[in-house]
């Protein structure tokens, strides 16, 4: 039984790693007007989140940062969202 559980965990980990690599390749396809949920579905949660404006009664504005990844090497991606909708996408070359 323990062997089956270990195999299941390893299989899920492998699938997650493959999905994460595919998500990084999708970063260049994020566009203005996309919904926040679609961004998360396509490229996953951000590596860093910054709130630009978070005032009660006003639309929330934030920036999501995605660091370079194997399938999107040397590219820093910053997605700005207002009220849950992408308003800007900035991609910068980030050399180490």
The reported pTM is 0.74
CA distances from 49 to 13, 63, 64, 78 (A): 25, 6, 5, 10
Domains within the chain, CATH numbers bracketed: 2-93 (3.30.1450.10)
pLDDT at 21: 47
What does the alpha-carbon distance between residue 50 and residue 81 come to, in Å, rounded to a whole number?
A: 10
Task: List 77's β-bridge partners, or say none.
Answer: 66, 91
What does the alpha-carbon distance between residue 65 and residue 3 come to, in Å, rounded to a whole number?
A: 39
Residues 36-89 have pLDDT tens digits of: 999 999 999 999 999 999 999 999 999 999 999 988 889 999 999 999 999 999
> Regarding predicted confidence, which is higher, 6 or 80?
80
Where do we find the tokens 């999905």?
A: 19
């Amino acid at each position: 039984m323990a062997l089956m559980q270990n195999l299941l965990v390893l299989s899920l980990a492998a699938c997650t790693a493959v999905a994460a690599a595919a998500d990084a390749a999708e970063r260049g396809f994020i566009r203005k007007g996309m919904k926040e949920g679609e961004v998360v579905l396509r490229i996953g949660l951000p590596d860093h989140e910054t709130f630009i404006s978070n005032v009660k009664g006003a639309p929330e504005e934030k920036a999501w940062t995605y660091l370079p990844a194997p399938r999107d090497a040397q590219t820093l991606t910053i997605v700005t969202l207002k009220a849950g909708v992408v308003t800007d996408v900035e991609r910068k070359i980030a050399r180490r």
